[in-house]
Amino acid sequence: MNMRIRLIHVLLVMGLGLLSSCGGEQVGEGPIVPPPPAPDEYADKRMPADWWGDSQKLEEGRKLYVGEKNPDVNCASCHGKDGKPVKAGATDFRNPERMKLYSDSVWFWRISEGVPNTKMRGWKSKVSEEDRWKLVLYERNFALSGKTWDEEKKQWSEVGAK
pLDDT at 28: 56
How many other CB atoms are there within 10 angstroms of residue 102's CB atom?
Answer: 24
Note whether residue 42 is domain-resident.
Answer: no
Residue closest to 138 by CA, chosen among 108, 97, 101: 108
CA distance 68 to 72: 9
CA proximity to 107, closest of 63, 159, 98: 98
Query: Does residue 103 fall inside a structural domain?
Result: yes
Distances (CA, A) of 95 to 2, 82, 145: 47, 12, 12
Q: Give a yes or no: residue 154 inside a domain.
A: no
Total structural domains in the chain? 1
Q: Between the CA of residue 47 and those of 53, 57, 85, 101, 147, what are the distances in Å? A: 11, 12, 25, 16, 12
pLDDT in tens, 44-62: 999 998 998 899 999 999 9
Q: Output the domain CATH number for residue 100.
A: 1.10.760.10
Q: What is the pTM of this model?
A: 0.80
Full residue range of the structural domain in which residue 132 is found: 54-147
In a domain, 45, yes or no: no
Work out the pLDDT band at 2, boundaries 50, 70, 90: low
